[in-house]
Amino acid sequence: GEQVEQRPPHLSVREGDSAIIICTYTDSATAYFSWYKQEAGAGLQLLMSVLSNVDRKEEQGLTVLLNKKDKRLSLNLTAAHPGDSAVYFCAVTVSRYNVLYFGSGTKLTVEP
């Protein structure tokens, strides 16, 4: 089955800096890619989704890059602020009818 690896497990940046989180996956048929954010004491919330026909998507200070050749997905928070401090998860699946496979999470801390 699908294997998803996410790194780094912990990331600390200063306010205004960029933060980059990377996931790699194993199934070349994977077609749907999502990023979720989990704030302290809460469930996960969807940040952004992309399809496999998209290499780059930007939304509200977030950039998702997809490299299908290397089976790598990244999330870039540009100009991070303390409110971005949370745990971030990537999630992938081969089709919209299949279950999502989650990465192990990255705890991001943005220091003022």
Partner 1 sequence: EAAVTQSPRNKVAVTGGKVTLSCNQTNNHNNMYWYRQDTGHGLRLIHYSYGAGSTEKGDIPDGYKASRPSQENFSLILELATPSQTSVYFCASGDAGDWGSAETLYFGSGTRLTVL
The residues binding partner 1 (CB under 8 A) are: 1, 6, 9, 32-34, 36, 41-46, 49, 51, 89, 91, 93, 96-97, 99-100, 102-105
> Closest separation between CB of residue 79 and partner 1, Å?
26
Strands 106-111 and 10-14: parallel
Which residue's CB is nearer to partner 1, number 40 or number 112?
40
Strand order across the 62-67 sheet = 4-7, 19-25, 72-77, 62-67, 56-59
Q: Which is nearer to partner 1, 69 or 96 (CB)?
A: 96
